[in-house]
């Protein structure tokens, strides 16, 4: 069962330790503002997730090529998760905007189709967002790109955590990110503050997600017993 307060507290304390190595923090900050190279920061956050919950401090920043590839994989997974919702939402917005320029009857028809398509895309987008983090954790923990789309395993993890608690966790992340966004909007200094804490926010989110995954993942004993077939029946007595 997920203890949300303990999860967020652990992730916060873990992310704070990123500031104990200023050299590492400065490199992460610089990389985070450079397009493409910022994949390394995402890959570093993935390394944090891979070492959690066992690790109690952020790992050293090494093997940049490996971190870049890991970050690229996560970006590709994010694109795949959101491509269908975006395909539905973007044309529907164009359709809704074009209604005033169409005659009455065709306009109603186009508007109805566009609205239905928009709602479908929005629902799929929300569902994709809900599954995304555990999909990423499943990929990282099992070191397999395809595991990001193993929806049976992902749903099992979320089910073990509890859907209500899992949704609360996502809402908590949204609130935290929104607060960071408000800080970034502070005149003059907001952008600098958000820039400094941006790597720590990534570490916080991936540490927290890894703890959620650990809370919902089936025990190794259950996995092993499921993988080993039962012994054959004894031979019938002659």
What's the rounded mean pLDDT across residues 77-87? 90
Phi, psi of 102 (to 5 degrees): -105, 155
The confidence band for 222, taking pLDDT boundaries of 50, 70 and 90, is: very low
**Predicted pLDDT at 221:** 44
**Predicted pLDDT at 111:** 67
Is pLDDT larger for residue 15 or for residue 231?
A: 15
Segments making up each domain of the chain, as ranges: 4-218
Terminal C-alpha separation, the chain? 51
**Predicted pLDDT at 146:** 93
pLDDT digits (tens, 9 = 90+) for 160-212: 999 999 999 999 999 999 999 898 888 888 888 888 999 999 999 999 999 99
2-41 in b/e burial notation, b at 16+ Cβ within 10 A?
beeeebbebbeebbeebeeeeebbebbbebbeeeeebbbb
**Predicted pLDDT at 205:** 95
**Predicted pLDDT at 48:** 95
Rg (C-alpha) for the chain, rounded Å, is 22
How big is the CA angle at 70 (ends 219 and 184), to the nearest 5 degrees? 100
76-to-71, 72, 147 alpha-carbon distances in Å: 9, 6, 13
Q: Which of 97, 36, 96, 91 is nearest to 68 (CA)?
A: 36
CA distance 91 to 74: 26
Mean of all residue pLDDT scores within the chain: 86
**Predicted pLDDT at 226:** 43
The confidence band for 91, taking pLDDT boundaries of 50, 70 and 90, is: confident
């Amino acid at each position: 069962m997920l203890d949300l307060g303990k999860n967020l507290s652990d992730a916060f304390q873990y992310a704070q330790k990123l500031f104990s190595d200023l050299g590492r923090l400065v490199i992460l900050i610089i990389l985070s503002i450079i397009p493409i190279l910022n994949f390394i920061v995402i890959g570093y956050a993935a390394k944090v997730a891979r070492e959690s919950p066992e690790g109690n401090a952020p790992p050293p920043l090494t093997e940049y090529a490996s971190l870049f590839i890991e970050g690229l994989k996560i970006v590709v997974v994010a694109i795949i998760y959101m491509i269908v919702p975006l395909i539905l939402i973007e044309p529907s917005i164009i359709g809704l905007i074009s209604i005033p320029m169409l005659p009455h009857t065709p306009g109603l028809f186009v508007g109805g189709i566009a609205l239905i398509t928009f709602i479908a895309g929005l629902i799929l987008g929300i569902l994709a967002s809900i599954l995304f983090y555990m999909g990423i954790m499943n990929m990282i923990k099992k070191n397999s790109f395809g595991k990001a789309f193993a929806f049976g395993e992902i749903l099992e993890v979320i089910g073990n955590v509890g859907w209500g608690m899992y949704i609360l966790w996502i809402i908590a992340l949204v609130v935290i990110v929104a607060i960071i966004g408000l800080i970034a909007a502070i005149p003059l200094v907001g952008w600098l503050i958000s820039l400094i804490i941006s790597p720590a926010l990534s570490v916080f989110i991936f540490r927290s997600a890894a703890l959620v995954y650990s809370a919902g993942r089936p025990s190794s004993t259950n996995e092993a017993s499921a993988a080993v077939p039962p012994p054959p029946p004894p031979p019938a007595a002659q």
